[in-house]
């Protein structure tokens, strides 16, 4: 499987042993190989942001660049630690996960 998704066999071994999580860049190939998404269905906006980003295979920094926000903003939203969400950011992230 490691070869088919373009990963080093040691990386794959670490994923299998739950030592590390696959990097974002590997998720599209992993999902394609499996033919399904084994992750639990995301329920919160934070979970939906992370799931969509990983499905796309992009880093936090890349998502921040695409949305025109600081990487720390994406991190806070993915972690669900935003205390006073600005409506503009709520709309921005909801549109991102909905694919608008």
34-83: pLDDT as tens digits = 999 989 999 999 999 999 999 999 999 999 999 999 999 999 999 999 99
pLDDT > 70? residue 100: no
Q: How far is CA 76 from CA 20, 80, 86, in A?
A: 21, 6, 13
Domain boundaries, the chain: 2-34, 45-98
Count of C-beta atoms within a 10 Å radius of residue 67:
16
Instruction: State the burial class of residue 38 (Cβ atoms within 10 Å of its Cβ: 0-12, 13-18, 19+).
Output: exposed
- Say how far apart CA 2 and CA 12 lie, in whole Å: 6
Pair of tokens at residue 84: 């006073």
For a pLDDT cut of 90, what percent of the chain falls above it? 88
Contacts of 27 (CB under 8 A, 6+ apart): 54, 55, 56, 57
CATH 1.10.260.40 assigned to 45-98: yes
Q: What average pLDDT is seen over the chain?
A: 94
């Amino acid at each position: 499987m490691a070869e088919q998704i373009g990963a080093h066999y040691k990386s794959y071994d670490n994923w299998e042993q739950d030592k590390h999580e696959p990097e974002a860049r590997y998720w599209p190939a992993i999902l394609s190989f499996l033919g399904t998404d084994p992750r639990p269905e995301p329920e919160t906006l934070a979970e939906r942001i992370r799931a969509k980003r990983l499905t796309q295979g992009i880093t936090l920094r890349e998502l921040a660049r695409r949305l025109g926000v600081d990487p720390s903003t994406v991190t806070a939203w993915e972690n669900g630690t935003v205390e006073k969400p600005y409506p503009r950011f709520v709309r921005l992230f909801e549109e991102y996960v909905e694919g608008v």
